[in-house]
Amino acid sequence: MALRFEEIDWQDTARGEISLRRRVDPTLGVDVYEVKLGEEFLMSSLFTVAEIELARIGLAQVTGDRIDVLVGGLGLGYTAVAALADPRVQTLTVVDAIAPVINWHQRELLPDTAGLATDSRTHLLEGDFFALVDGPVGFGAGRPDHYDAILLDIDHTPRHVLHQSHSSFYLREGLQSMRRHLKANGVFALWSDDPPDQEFLGVLSGVFAEVSTHVVSFPNPLTGGESANSVYVASH
């Protein structure tokens, strides 16, 4: 009998046990890559449309011919690879708090996003995005001091966070700290698993002059119907 899934990597980290596994979807007949942190499923290669749209929608609002982009959350790499598809991107800094996730990309264990780590524009940084936002140093020596776009996909939603320490980021003071890392006409874009949250939109509007939400729908092969995520976009 064939194995239901293959565990490609497993590591014990300060944030819990993280694993990368591959299985064959019986309906679609394709390899599916999944990430678990403890008992929680973080991401699946079956559902990447909104992660890709996070980069596409966010960068569409950015002006300029040569742009610097910061991505919070590496995961399976779809947002980062979509950002690199924009020919204007001259530097891409991707921050992830979990070292094994970065190592998966350095080892090219994920075929859909192979080449991300070796692209000369890419810098993969191990660190806590939220702590770096608040800290005095920023995102590392030799990296841009300010960014044309910050694309964030770490927590499930502004209300459903992976760690309680993230919660303050989604308040006015946290967003203001993040805004200082943007250039004058910079854009912040955020992925969320929930429909647009009017309360969070109000917080965003208190920090940024222009705020919008985009509902991204996509087929869900597990239900046979459609699912949707949200992308928030904010700019000065």
Average pLDDT over residues 71-92: 98
Confidence of residue 1 (pLDDT cuts 50, 70, 90): very low
Closest residue by Cα to residue 57 from 157, 147, 188: 188
Mean pLDDT, residues 55-60 taken together: 98
The residues, any chain, with a CB within 8 Å of residue 213's CB and separated by 6 or more, are 196, 201, 230, 231, 232, 233
- Residue at token pair 């943007």: 182
At CA 148, angle to CA 228 and CA 63, rounded to 5?
85
pLDDT tens-digit readout, 186-197: 999 999 999 999
DSSP 124-136: EEES-HHHHHHSS
Residue 218 is predicted with a pLDDT of 95
C-alpha dist (Å) from residue 156 to 40, 51, 77, 173: 11, 12, 16, 20
Please write the tens of the pLDDT for every residue from 114-173: 999 999 999 999 999 999 999 888 887 678 889 999 999 999 999 999 999 999 999 999
Render pLDDT for 208-222 as a digit per residue (tens, 0 to 9).
999 999 999 999 988
